[in-house]
Amino acid sequence: MIHAELMPDELALGLLGRLRSLNGWQGHQRGMATSQLRDSLDAEGLATEGLSNADLLALAAGIPTAQFVRFHTLLPFRFVASDFGAHVPYGSPCSAGTEQVYGLALPTGRLFACRACASEDVGRWGFSWYRRSHQVPGLEWCERHRMTLSWIDDGDPSGELPHTWFERGGVREISVRTFALQCQKGALRRYLSVCSALLDRAAPADSRALNRKLMARASALGMGVDSEKHECKLKTAISAFADQHWLSAHFPDIQKGERLAETRLGRLLRDPRAVAQGADYGLVISLLYDDVDEAMDLLFGIRKRVGVSMSAARPDASRQPAQGELVMTS
């Protein structure tokens, strides 16, 4: 029987890696592992025809797809807004095509992990897992441990669990210099808060309504891409936001010296139909608002909450495995 209880904030791709390990699919690349997962669920008599990868993983984890997609994939971050599917919950059958394509994809193409998280996970649970909140572009450190993240330097990074890569030395650390800068800069702290809030939404916003609000806010601040004067002020705000190294790593189009109007960020401020990813919305919102809670309420109707809920309830460490259930023992 295939089963893997989801861990807090566990990334979908990481769960697939854990299922590979649990079921002895070691050596199978990701695409093969999803077919193997489908075959195994079929063999259990579960109907898998027409199901997306996210559906299959949710089925293996024993939770509804919508809950899985909302709390364990980066879809809420990748699809902040939509011009045709606004308010359709992430993980609903209507958006299955998108999940099939993007449900397991990594925004930066790299898989990140925190050495201290991996070590703590092994100490408490006997194994480690990849966290969704560590995969946000531009977030280069673990909030919990205040240390830089590492990325897995391998063509099949989710093929092993984080602690195994750390033991083998198959990781590369992000520069400490950037980490020090990130801790100091207020705007970057806002970017992190905005991105965390974007991860925790149930459905995409209406891009036209959202972009118009951002345009109005930019205009009120005398910033934007509609005139040279406004663009100059926006450029100054971006330069003060983070150092050149961070900007060129995460927003290369801005660093190329192009007209801001032609960048992804600029399009959001001139085209109500433009749809961008979470990083772009995160940057624009952190540039235009000082108070993140107020911004998220005004733009998305997200009221201030105590803490950020990253996942469903934490699994019960004392729970006994069900009969036939496979349990990871590091």
Residue 234 DSSP SS3:
helix
Asked if 142 touches Zn ion (CB under 5 A), the answer is: yes
DSSP character at residue 5: P
Take residue 28 and report the two structure tokens written for it: 């199978």
Nearest C-alpha neighbor of 21 from the set 133, 122, 129, 104: 129
Q: Which is nearer to Zn ion, 117 or 136 (CB)?
A: 117
The encoded tokens of residue 270 equal 């001139």
Residue 114 is a binding residue for Zn ion (CB under 5 A): yes
CB-neighbour burial class of residue 182 (10 A; exposed 0-12, middle 13-18, buried 19+): buried
Question: Rounded to the nearest 10 degrees, how much is the dihedral formed by the CA atoms of 244, 78, 199, 36?
Answer: -120
| Other CB atoms within 10 A of residue 66 CB | 18
Q: Is 146 in the site for Zn ion (CB under 5 A)?
A: no
Closer residue to Zn ion (CB): 114 or 284: 114
If binding is defined by CB under 5 A, does position 273 make contact with Zn ion? no
Distances (CA, A) of 1 to 61, 135, 195: 12, 30, 37
* Residue among 120 and 156 whose Cβ is closer to Zn ion: 120
Tell which one of 87, 124, 144, 235 touches Zn ion (CB under 5 A): 144
304 binds Zn ion (CB under 5 A): no
Q: Using CB under 5 A, which of 28, 30, 110, 145 touches Zn ion?
A: 145
Taking the least distance from each CB to Zn ion, the nearer of 110 and 208 is 110
x-or-dash pattern for Zn ion, window 59-98, by CB under 5 A?
A: ----------------------------------------
**What's the min distance (Å) between Cβ of 113 and Zn ion?**
8
* 171 belongs to the binding site for Zn ion (CB under 5 A): no
112 versus 300: smaller Cβ distance to Zn ion: 112
117 binds Zn ion (CB under 5 A): yes
Q: In the beta sheet, which residues pair with residue 141?
A: 148
Interface with Zn ion (CB under 5 A): 114, 116-117, 142, 144-145
